[in-house]
Structure 1
Amino acid sequence: MNAPNPQTLAFVRDPVSDEDTARANHYALLSRLLHAAPDASLLGMLAASGDWQIDDDAPSAEAVLMAQAWNGLCAASAAMDPAAAQDEFDALFGGVGRPEIVVFGSFYLAGFVNEKPLVKLRDDLAALGLARTQGESLPEDHIAAVCDVMRLLLTDTTRSATERAQAQDRFFATHIQPWYGALCDALDAAAGANFYRRVSQYARSFLDVEAAALTIDP
């Protein structure tokens, strides 16, 4: 039997837990839905994924709301077609000038896009070894981008489980928690929101669970 290579052992990290994998999948879905309109494949997948049942005898209020929001999103996906989803996405998030729904953290934290919160985010991303994808023109404080960062932090096996948890908590508390509620409020109030009102309810319920978890002592 060969002796273990100490250099190899030095890079062994804790595997990602089932819970963190599930959380990463929620962040990935939010990132996808808020970056572009869902296509037929995604709508079909969501339509087939409803009926989330909670087995816990005494579920938290957050868990109940999340199950309801998930089932509502899946039901809305079954009734939505890709063309209508694209039209709604463009009406809410596109257009010339300021869109109906602004999706950048700086807007909610500082009142304008490309403000100091974006500078802080870029500094923190650099410290994590992350940067905007080449060719991507949208600023890093886009809600889809920060959700994708959380996905990466949850599944980064180059860090130990403790390091991953600390990085996630810091990033969420600084760059998502202070403004996701205001974004969801704007979507909920948007006259043109139909499918994306369901996306907003799902986003709020999941991120509320994430925020509640920060208050629990390890």
Structure 2
Amino acid sequence: MSELEKDQKIAEVGDVGLPEDLARADLYGLIARFFLLPPDQELLDQIAASIPEGQGSADEAPLARLWDNLVELAKNNPAQAWRDEFDANFISVGKPNVVLNASFYLAGHLNEKPLVEIRRSLDTFGLEAAENITETEDHIAALCEVMRYLIAGDDVEISNLTNQRIFFNAHIRPWYDELCDAIEIIPDMRLYHSVAALTREFMAIEAQGFDMI
């Protein structure tokens, strides 16, 4: 994972492939990783090492402060603690404490019209879910991975700012706040509160940037 540039707005981005694009793609990838699986110790160590011991970020932007908080949690909580919190809240044979799928927030149930619409969008990009992925395409991790591809992919006919804006506004923007709310209202989700806060702030920056296009 490359060093994250904390508060970069899309309006400052030109062609795909600039450092700002790669920073955005990295953060989408990191958010996807946290919501698909609990972080392992290697990932936590990488996050912890992004800020040298005893130093905080000099950047006072909200996203930078939230990153600092995540770094501290990565330093001070082992992978097992993150796994326990993930399993207790995102995994269930019935309805989990927090559902991570767009259909639930936009239609009230899983596997509803929003999932169909996302699959149509993916078809236009020539994308499909990998065979080893069990989550449906409206899972927040899957949507963040699509955004990462639309930012950092090699095919500029697909990976471009226009497609990023359309996909984000249609499939992420309408519900990410509700997802973050659902996480933050559970007191015991101490670790994932930081992930939700980082996600909310980053998505808000993305939305603001797309509105400026």
The bucket for the TM-score relative to the shorter chain is 0.7 to 0.9
Residue in 2 aligned with 1:166?
162
| Percent of paired sites with the same residue | 38
Contact 1:28/1:148, CA 8 A, preserved across alignment: yes
Task: Write out the 4+ residue segments of structure 1 that deviate beyond 6 Å after TM superposition.
Answer: none
Instruction: Map 1:2-81; keep pairs closer than 5 Å.
Output: 16-50=17-51, 51-54=56-59, 64-81=61-78
Instruction: Flag the 1:15–1:69 CA change in 2: closer, same or farther, 3 A.
Output: closer
Residue in 1 aligned with 2:104?
107
2:131 equivalent to 1:131: no
Instruction: Give the unaligned 5+ runs of structure 2.
Output: 1-14
1:156-208 per-position Cα deviation (integer Å, ceiling 9, x unaligned) = 221159x6000100000001000000000011111320110011111111111
| CA distance, structure 2, for counterparts of residue 104 and residue 89 of structure 1 | 15
Contact 2:16/2:160, CA 8 A, preserved across alignment: no
2:85 equivalent to 1:92: no
Contact 1:91/1:192, CA 8 A, preserved across alignment: no
Q: Alignment partner of 2:149: what SS?
A: helix
Q: Following TM superposition, by how much is the alpha carbon of 1:53 offset from its aligned partner in structure 2, in angstroms?
A: 2.8
| CA distance, structure 2, for counterparts of residue 144 and residue 160 of structure 1 | 23
| CA distance, structure 2, for counterparts of residue 179 and residue 211 of structure 1 | 12
Match of 1:197 among 179, 193, 197: 193
RMSD over aligned Cα atoms: 1.5
Q: Alignment partner of 1:154: what SS?
A: helix
Specify the structure having the higher radius of gyration (Cα): 1
Q: Following TM superposition, by how much is the alpha carbon of 1:93 offset from its aligned partner in structure 2, in angstroms?
A: 0.2
State the TM-score, normalizing by the size of structure 1.
0.86
Q: Following TM superposition, by how much is the alpha carbon of 1:48 offset from its aligned partner in structure 2, in angstroms?
A: 1.8
| CA distance, structure 2, for counterparts of residue 125 and residue 28 of structure 1 | 18
State the TM-score, normalizing by the size of structure 2.
0.87
Q: Following TM superposition, by how much is the alpha carbon of 1:15 offset from its aligned partner in structure 2, in angstroms?
A: 5.5
Q: How many residues align?
A: 195
Contact 1:92/1:192, CA 8 A, preserved across alignment: no
Q: Alignment partner of 1:190: what SS?
A: coil
Q: Alignment partner of 2:34: what SS?
A: helix
1:43-85 per-position Cα deviation (integer Å, ceiling 9, x unaligned) = 111112243333xxxxxxxx82111111111111111111111
| CA distance, structure 1, for counterparts of residue 135 and residue 201 of structure 2 | 26
Instruction: Give the unaligned 5+ runs of structure 1.
Output: 1-13, 55-62
